[in-house]
C-alpha cells in the first residue's frame, strides 16, 4: 500500500454523494465523499459509521435533533440510528464503516450509487 494524501484523492472526482474507497483495515473501508444538498433518511442495522469533516460543514439530522460538524470534527452514528446528512454548501468528508455497509441501508433512492470504486 502507498500512503494516501487526502487532498490529492479529493481532486480525482467531483460527483456528490458518490463515495470513493481509499483504504481498508480490519474489515472496514476508509472512504472519501463530496456532498452537497440533502441525502435520504436511512440507517444501517449492523454498522456504526464515522463522519469526519475535512472541508466545509456537514449537518446530520436525527429524528430527535441534529448535529453540525465543521472542519476537523467527527461524529459516529451508531448502528440502527436513522440519520440524514445535509450540506448547504459542498463539503468534503471522510467516512469509516464496515465493508458490508449499504449506502442507503436498503432505502431506495436516486442518490444510491451501485458501485463505490477504489481510487
Residues that bind a copy of itself (CB under 8 A): 1, 3-7, 23-28, 30, 47-50, 54, 67, 69, 72-76, 78, 96-98
> Cα separation of 92 and 69, whole Å?
11
| Least distance (Å) between residue 80 CB and a copy of itself | 13
Look at residues 108, 104, 64, 60 and name the one whose alpha carbon lies nearest to residue 83: 60
Nearer to a copy of itself, 13 or 111 (CB): 13
Nearer to a copy of itself, 68 or 109 (CB): 68
| Least distance (Å) between residue 33 CB and a copy of itself | 16
Look at residues 108, 94, 96 and name the one whose alpha carbon lies nearest to residue 7: 94
By CB atoms closer than 10 A (0-12, 13-18, 19+), residue 59 is: middle
Nearer to a copy of itself, 84 or 111 (CB): 84
Amino acid at each position: 500500500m502507498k500512503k494516501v494524501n487526502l487532498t490529492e484523492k479529493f481532486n480525482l472526482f467531483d460527483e456528490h454523494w458518490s463515495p470513493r474507497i481509499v483504504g481498508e483495515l480490519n474489515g472496514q473501508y476508509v472512504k472519501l465523499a463530496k456532498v452537497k444538498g440533502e441525502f435520504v433518511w436511512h440507517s444501517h442495522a449492523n454498522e456504526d459509521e464515522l463522519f469526519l469533516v475535512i472541508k466545509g460543514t456537514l449537518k446530520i439530522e436525527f429524528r430527535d435533533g441534529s448535529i453540525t460538524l465543521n472542519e476537523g470534527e467527527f461524529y459516529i452514528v451508531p448502528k440502527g440510528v436513522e440519520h440524514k446528512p445535509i450540506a448547504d454548501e459542498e463539503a468534503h468528508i471522510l467516512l469509516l464503516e464496515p465493508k458490508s455497509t449499504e449506502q442507503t441501508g436498503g432505502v431506495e433512492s436516486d442518490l444510491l450509487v451501485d458501485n463505490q470504486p477504489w481510487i
